[in-house]
Amino acid sequence: MSGTAQIGVTGLAVMGRNLARNFARNGFTVAVHNRTASKTRSLVEEFGDEGTFVPAESAEEFVAALERPRRLIIMVKAGAPTDAVIEEFAPLLEEGDVIIDGGNAHFADTRRREKELRERGIHFVGVGISGGEEGALHGPSIMPGGSVESYASLGPLLERIAAKAPDGAPTVAHIGPDGAGHFVKMVHNGIEYADMQLIAEAYHLLRAVAGYSPAKIAETFRTWNTGRLDSYLIEITAEVLAHTDEATGKPFVDIVTDQAEQKGTGRWTVQIALDLGVPVSGIAEAVFARSLSGHAGLREASRSLPGPTAAPLSEADAARFADQVEQALYASKIVSYTQGFHQIQAGSDEYDWNIDLGSVAAIWRAGCIIRAAFLDRIREAYDTQRELPSLLSDKQFAEEIGAAQEDWRAVVATAVHQGVPTPGFAAALSYYDALRAERLPAALTQGQRDFFGAHTYRRTDREGSFHTLWGGDRSEVSTD
């Protein structure tokens, strides 16, 4: 069947296999290849009835099976393995063919690869795919970056296999040139880290302060999921908290070691935010919270440190506190998304990607891990106000967060008083207060910098840069 496959997938671990099956289920002829040929044969044997697969045992066979322009998706580990596969297949391709990297690549690697392959006449598309193995099979949120020409060739296929938002729109859009797609996927994962941390803090507060059992908290989360917090992560949190360990009869959450792991995209988000000068404090605190949880020895050595003793709440007070936690969670989530979209805009400006923030919100409405009902409102906010500087500048979001702030502050104060760590809630509130402050203590910081390093400062009453001669008469000189 030479030259009959409309798309090819190489790398048939769980994500690659499910993505290939998704294409086949949607009517495409799919060439499949894996370094270990048994995985290719296994896929066809197990799922051949789902559509048309063209198995290939060699790179040459795989490329020959693809129709022109060839579209080849790489689903292997990020880094050196991806480069190795590119170098294996690129010499076999022709001008106008498209290589697609569907892994969690660093966007800087994607930019490098796109430039190198463009010089060889080959399109390279870095595609962020969110939704895990289930999303890959049933419909993920897809974030492709690359040339307009490559999307014209690849887009119709991706639109067919993507998840569908409530209004029926496929959750895929051309994000922008070179590394734009992988950059947006990186920030998506950063927001995911923050979202998960905030949910975990809400659980911790309900358990440690309100005195709720995991089963009771599961019911609380199910209730929240019927309102403005409606989202995939709230939904699965309720499922996890309601689960009982079969071996011990204990709540599942109590038999899991309290050390959260990470694959690195959250760290990348924070590292790149520092490079761009964008404050993503909520995401950073989520990354650090996972890091701290893993330092078992340090935590063990510190458990005897003094702290407050939690005071039990009455049933009525616990219910009231739970309502306050819902307000704090919602307000903090708005801040997390605000920081994430700010970083996407900064990256777009830095690399001249011209990313449409409304479009990004639209393709996160289904398929991805952070899919949530309020993303539709985020899409509307950016679609109607193209120059919106921040989600907190949107009238409706500003009103909601304003209405939540008293309960938000009460929750953070209670957490401090009871000794329950809430770095996510506290960081989100500090960010909010810093944005609305008339003046920040940064003026003092800059004065200190000028004192010890002659770094200069700007004045509020006239233009120019100045330096104070801090010895002697402390006269001021203009440095312009």
**Which residues participate in catalysis according to the annotation?**
185, 192
Q: Are 408 and 171 in contact (CB under 8 A)?
A: no
Token pair belonging to 124: 């390279």
| Residues 6+ away with beta carbon under 8 Å from 127 | 73, 100, 101, 102, 142, 143, 144, 145, 158, 181, 182
Cβ neighbours of 238 (radius 10 Å): 18
As given in the structure block, the two tokens for residue 64 are 């020959």
Q: Report the C-alpha gap between 384 and 395 in whole angstroms.
A: 12
- From CA 192, how far away is CA 371, in angstroms rounded? 10
367 near 140, Cβ under 8 Å? Answer: yes
Instruction: Look at residue 25 and give its three-state secondary structure.
Output: helix
**From the centroid of its chain, how far is CA 128?**
10
Q: What is the DSSP letter of 178?
A: T
Q: Which of 62, 70, 67, 125 is nearest to 96 (CA)?
A: 70
Beta strands 141-145; 457-458: pairing state: unpaired
Quote the strand ranges of 211-287, DSSP E: none
d(CA 117, CA 124) in angstroms, rounded, equals 6
Long-range contacts of 130-134 (CB under 8 A, 24+ apart): 130/185, 130/188, 130/189, 130/364, 130/367, 130/368, 130/369, 130/370, 131/163, 131/367, 131/368, 131/369, 132/369, 133/14, 133/15, 133/18, 134/18
| DSSP code of residue 115 | H
Rg (CA), the chain: 26
In order of 201, 418, 421, the CA distances from 413 in angstroms are 14, 9, 11
Tell me the C-alpha distance between 429 and 408, whole Å. Answer: 8
Q: What's the CA gap between 122 and 197, in Å, rounded? A: 41
Report whether 266 contacts 286 (CB < 8 A).
yes
